[in-house]
Structure formats: structure tokens, C-alpha cells
Amino acid sequence: MEKVSDYFGSMVFDDRVMKATLPADVYSSLRKTIDQGEQLDIGVANAVATAMKDWAVSKGATHYTHWFQPLTGITAEKHDSFITPSPDGGVIMEFSGKELIKGEPDASSFPSGGLRATFEARGYTAWDPTSYAFIKGKTLCIPTAFCSYGGEALDKKTPLLRSMEALNVQALRVLRLFGNNTVKCVKTSVGPEQEYFLVDREMYNKRKDLVYTGRTLFGAKPPKGQEMDDHYFGVIKPRVAAYMEDLNEELWKLGILAKTEHNEVAPAQHELAPIYSTTNVATDHNQLTMEIMQKVAAKHGLVCLLHEKPFAGVNGSGKHNNWSISTDTGVNLLSPGETPHENAQFLLFLCAVIKAVDDYQDLLRISVATAGNDHRLGANEAPPAVVSMFLGDELSAVLEAIENDAPYNAAERTQMKLGVSVLPKFTRDTTDRNRTSPFAFTGNKFEFRMLGSSNSIACANIMLNAAVAESLKQYADVLEKSDNFREGLQKLIKETLKEHKRIIFNGNGYDEQWIKEATEKRGLLNYATTADCVGHLLDEKNVKMLTEHKVFSETELRSRYEITLENYCKTVLIEARTMCDMVKTEIAPAVESYTAELAKTMSLKQSVGEAIPVSYEKALLVKLSGLIECMSMKTDELEKALSSVSEINSVAEESMAVKNELLVKMSQLRAVCDEAEALTARKYWPFPRYGELLFGVR
């Protein structure tokens, strides 16, 4: 049996392959481009292109594509073959540095938020040498950025790379003040945990709502859900285990560091977690992971659901974004060390994150805003829409001591005694974890838990990188002018803690009293929906910060505003139309058929004699007939709301109408249909119910 170490990264043109196939001077020049951002020479590009093509062809590849991440939230690719005609009538396999560096896909058919008109088709893809090329099927995939003819970013990768550079610039300024002149680069790293559901494909195909929208729009509560807590970390079912085994193999071939797999809390829900990698690489890998999850599921007769809330009443699926900052010398700048109260550099970077999260709560909320995630935030096992930070007892005590000029008495670390002599003793961590916090410190990193399972992690990390870069810039501006660095540093840390401690909350984020305290006493923001928050992307402070750090231009920000609200509206409109279709063509006819059967049974009983009771049939018939009438009325109301919303020209007004009218009508229609489902005999119901979907994979 082939060992994992033998095939790991076998489909990736990674550092091992480059070192083996490129001339030493070319390899050295390319590494400087990757590690230090130096300009790429066309001669180097030609040499890399030849080596990359030869390697890909040896692996069976016939085509190449510039693989990019447009504003659809998924990836895009246009395949070109390596073949070039030869004089003798045959073909030769060619690939140039020019083809490696630049591609030209149609830019008019992707979301642009007004950056491109339909008749303006030209767009460019540009090779991102910091992310390794890989082979998928028979195609060499070259990770690229995507921009318009005018140079505006039409993708998620370009602003992400800009945000990483912005943070790098400001972090280096701060490190130089600490006397560190050896570090050449500071990068953020991410490990995104990916939650998902697996359902049987045959059942999936029978539900229009899952096929069209990715979530169930109807569904009565089954007799059992997740009440018993018996699925979380439970024994993995054979069919799921086989899926996970194949998934790991496919991911490992692509150099994706899939590490942890387990059952999640809800029935049919699971999680995959990777080892950390540089943020832009982690973003590429997570997009690939979602794609491969769905492809592998199909091979096993399954469907992988990545929607944030595919089932009501059980946990939704998130994507925990574990984020840290490190130097090229291997130092994690968010690692407290043994004595965090004495680690001034760590405390300053920690304060930078605290300040960033407080100052730009709105941007962090906007970065995870989708119609799907709105259903998840604040629901089962998901953090609330209010952004706050968990630091734990020890760090909170350290910061409190600094703020109050009080001595910090480090608590001794407790040794855990489990009461069984054969079990090993171990030291307890200095602080607990908090699963309810949107933004939690977990030892040497922050876990941003608000992302939805289908989100690209690029959006959240763009805003996080940029916000922290702004904090560091402000610190560097002050400290560079300070006559006494140590005194200036201490003052800066104390001021930050006093001004921003409102964002720190170590308690239960699910507690309703916390939401009241957060908004009424602390003044924290509570944007419950996408419609509520996205407009704040264009607030003056946000535009100023993001444009000054050159993460976005103002035009690019306006395009993101338009696209996010358009996607929100389109998503809900599709869901509403699907609901109307399912009620009229499936649900109402099914209930009518059952009521006809009840009426027939009641009539037969009555024809036999008055002594035979028919009270059961009569009561159920009356109940279902009333529900059918209500169903018809609620469907008409929803269709009228759909028509009204569709006529609104302003995307801002449309999004508020979707939130305040359409979603309300959809909820009312669902309630009636779910009640009818609970009363209708199973053989009449036209599609699989919740219990069958959630417990159907064995």
C-alpha cells in the first residue's frame, strides 16, 4: 500500500519540484519573488513555464488554466491546451512565460458591481507565484489574480494580497522599533476548519429546495434531532468513513494539509480541519477543499451540503478562521511565551488586534455577511451577530493589571488529577476555551468563528489584515516620534486597553442578557442581517482606512457593496420562487390527495352505519382543509411580495424589502406547510423528510 508521504503533494509544482527542475539561478530568483516580493523577470518566467509544462505533461496533463476567484464566491477556470501545430502536420507541446504570467478571460460575465459594462469584455489574470500551481484532472491549474482592463480588482485574491502586504509593511515598522532588524517579512497564517453535511444523493435529488438553494425551505421537526448529543465526536459511520478516506487522499495529493476529521454536533454533520498555511495559500486550499468535498461525495452516492443552515432546528455549519501573525524567522507574534506580562512585543501586537476588532466591528461583520449566514448567526452553536473578543482569565488579568498600574501575580498552573492512578497527570491550560465567542484567543492565535461554511475565507482575512495594519500604523506613528520608547510603549498599551476594553467579553455569548449589555451598555454593534450591515462598508472611516492602505480603491469598495447586496437579494428571491413552486406543484397536491383519501374513508364508514365513529377522520379532514386554504393564501401573499420586491430599482431598498417583507412571508408559508407535513401520511408526502435526510447515511 502506498504511503501518504510518497504521494503527498504529488500533483503540486511545489518547492521540491522547482528545486529539482529549475536551474539554480532561476530557482533563486523565483524564491526572492515568492519570499520578498521582488519583481519577476521574463527570462525567469520562461524557464519556470517550460519546467512547469514538462512536469505537468509527465503527470498526464494536456491543458492549462489560470485558476482564479471571481466575486461569485467560487473559483473559475478557462482551459487551453498545450498543443501548437508543427510544420509536419503534427503538434508540439508549448507553454511560454507570457502565457504563464498573463491570461485574458472574459470580464463582463462575472459580477463587477458596475466596474465593467456588458460590452466591456476584456479582463486579465495574473500569475500569483506565492501559491503553487497544481494539477486537477488533466489540467495544470495556475493560481492567479483577476482584474479589469482598467486595473480594478475583480476577484477576492488581489485585495487579500494587498491586505497581507499592508500588514507586512506596518508590522515591520513596529518590529524595527523593538530593535529587530533581521526580519524581512511578516505574514499572516490561517487554518480554516470546515463544517459540512452529507446526505444521500437519491434523497437530495427529490428535493427542489436542496437542488436549487442548498437548504431545505420546508421541513417539520423529526422525532429526534441532536438532543441526545450522541453524534458529536461519535463513531464515524462506514459510508462516511469511506468518503473521508477518499477525500483525504485527494486533498493530500494537492498538498492540502487535511489533519482532523470528526462528526459534528448535528446528525449528518461533520468537520475537516487543516494545518495552518500562509493566508493566500490557505484561501486557495479552502476553495479547493470545498470543490473536492463535493466531487468526492458524488462518487459515494452522497451530496456534500456547504450551506450555513441546510436544516432548521439543528446546528448550522460554520468555518472557524484560525488566524495568527508570524515572521519569516519563525516567530509567532501572538505567542505570549511563559510570562506574557513581561512580553512587551506580544502585548503590543495583542493590543493592535483588540483595537482593530473594536474599531472595525462593522467590517468584520460585513466580511461574513450572506443570506445563508444570516440564518446561522445567533442560532444553534453559532456566535451571535455582535462582535466581541474572548481573551481568557490569564490574559484578561494581565491586561487589567497593566491598565490599573497594579502588580500581576501569575497563578501557578494547576496539575490535573483525574483520580485514576494509571492515567497520566498533565498541566491544565491557563484558560478555558469559549465556543460562544465570535473572536477568541486560543493560545497563540485568534479563532474568528463567524464565517459561514460556504464563505471564501478571503473576505474575512482581508478585513482582519487591513484593520490590524491600521492599528500597527497608528502605533508606529506614535512610537517613532517618542523620545522614550519604553515609556511611550507602556502609555500606548494602557490607552488601548482603556479605550477598547468594551470589546472583551469572556462570558456566555448565547446569553440574551449579554446582547442587551453589549448594545445598551457597551455600545457594540448588532447587525442581525446582511441588509443591516453592508451599507456600512461605505462609511467614511472604512473607506478611508481601506483606501489609505491600498487594499481597495473607493470604486472597488462600491462594487463590493453592490455585489454583496445583489447576491443577498437574488439568493432570497430564488428561495421564495422555489417555495411557491414546491407548494403549488408538490405540497398542496399531496395534502389534497390525503384529504381526498380521508373523505373517502369517512364516506365508506358512514355508508356502513351510523354506529361506526368517524370523528378522527372528520377532525383531521377539517384541520388539513383549513391548512390547504391557508397555504394557498400565504402562497398568493408571497407571490405578490415577490412581484413587489422585483420592481424595486435601488439595491439598498430592495435588500430592506427582502428582509422586512419577503423573508417574513416565507417564514409564514413554511410554518403552514410544516404543520401540514406533520399531519399528512408519509406515503403522500412528495419528498424526503428531515428524519430521512439527517439519519439516512449509514
Least confident of 386-395, 514-523, 552-561: 386-395
Calculate what percentage of the chain has a pLDDT beyond 70: 92
Read off the pLDDT of each residue in 247-254 and give the average, rounded to a whole number: 97
Q: What is the pLDDT of residue 432?
A: 55
Read off the pLDDT of each residue in 208-228 and give the average, rounded to a whole number: 94
The DSSP bridge pattern shows strands 63-67 and 139-148 to be parallel
Residue 387 shares a structural domain with residue 525: yes
Q: What is the pLDDT of residue 424?
A: 53
Residue 580 shares a structural domain with residue 540: no
Q: What is the pLDDT of residue 84?
A: 76
* Domain end marker among 125, 155, 185: 155
Q: What is the pLDDT of residue 420?
A: 46
Q: What is the pLDDT of residue 58?
A: 95
Q: What is the pLDDT of residue 423?
A: 45
**Chain mean pLDDT for the chain:** 91
Least confident of 211-220, 428-437, 528-537: 428-437
The answer to whether residue 124 is domain-embedded is yes
* Domain end marker among 155, 184, 203: 155
Read off the pLDDT of each residue in 196-215 and give the average, rounded to a whole number: 98
- Give the CATH number, domain containing residue 638: 1.20.120.1560
Read off the pLDDT of each residue in 341-364 and give the average, rounded to a whole number: 93
Predicted confidence (pLDDT) per residue in 81-99, tens digit: 997 776 666 656 678 888 8
The answer to whether residue 557 is domain-embedded is no
Residue 360 shares a structural domain with residue 251: yes
Cβ-contact 679, 620 below 8 angstroms:
yes
The answer to whether residue 329 is domain-embedded is yes
Cβ-contact 530, 370 below 8 angstroms:
yes
pLDDT for residue 340 is more than 80: no
Q: What is the pLDDT of residue 572?
A: 98
Bigger pLDDT: 473 vs 130: 473
Read off the pLDDT of each residue in 604-628 and give the average, rounded to a whole number: 87
The answer to whether residue 289 is domain-embedded is yes
Q: What is the pLDDT of residue 157?
A: 95
pLDDT for residue 610 is more than 50: yes
C-alpha cell at 83: 498543443
The answer to whether residue 39 is domain-embedded is yes
Predicted confidence (pLDDT) per residue in 3-20, tens digit: 998 899 999 999 999 999
- Give the CATH number, domain containing residue 32: 3.10.20.70
Predicted confidence (pLDDT) per residue in 133-159, tens digit: 999 999 999 999 998 877 899 899 999
Residue 77 shares a structural domain with residue 214: no
Binning pLDDT at 50, 70 and 90, where does residue 121 land?
low
The answer to whether residue 560 is domain-embedded is no
- Give the CATH number, domain containing residue 260: 3.30.590.10
Residue 524 shares a structural domain with residue 597: no
Predicted confidence (pLDDT) per residue in 572-609, tens digit: 999 999 999 999 999 999 999 999 999 999 888 888 77
Nearest alpha carbon to residue 457 among 278, 678, 309: 278
Residue 376 shares a structural domain with residue 278: yes
Binning pLDDT at 50, 70 and 90, where does residue 471 land?
very high
Nearest alpha carbon to residue 460 among 611, 605, 356: 356
Q: What is the pLDDT of residue 452?
A: 96
What is the pTM (predicted TM-score) of this model? 0.93
Residue 288 shares a structural domain with residue 404: yes
The answer to whether residue 109 is domain-embedded is yes
pLDDT for residue 418 is more than 60: no
Beta-bridge partner residues of 560: none
Residue 241 shares a structural domain with residue 108: no
Residue 351 shares a structural domain with residue 411: yes
Q: What is the pLDDT of residue 563?
A: 95
Nearest alpha carbon to residue 288 among 457, 51, 130, 104: 457
Cβ-contact 565, 530 below 8 angstroms:
yes
Nearest alpha carbon to residue 209 among 579, 567, 670: 579
Cβ-contact 233, 247 below 8 angstroms:
no
Binning pLDDT at 50, 70 and 90, where does residue 426 land?
very low
pLDDT for residue 416 is more than 50: no
Q: Which domain holds residue 122?
A: 4-155
Determine the Cα–Cα distance for residues 239 and 274; give it in Å rounded to an integer.
22
Residue 320 shares a structural domain with residue 421: yes
Determine the Cα–Cα distance for residues 79 and 105; give it in Å rounded to an integer.
10
Binning pLDDT at 50, 70 and 90, where does residue 546 land?
very high
Residue 548 shares a structural domain with residue 646: no
Residue 140 shares a structural domain with residue 187: no
How many structural domains are present in the chain? 3
Binning pLDDT at 50, 70 and 90, where does residue 338 land?
confident
Q: Which residues contact 633 (CB under 8 A, 6 or more apart)?
A: none
The answer to whether residue 679 is domain-embedded is yes
* Domain end marker among 155, 184, 212: 155
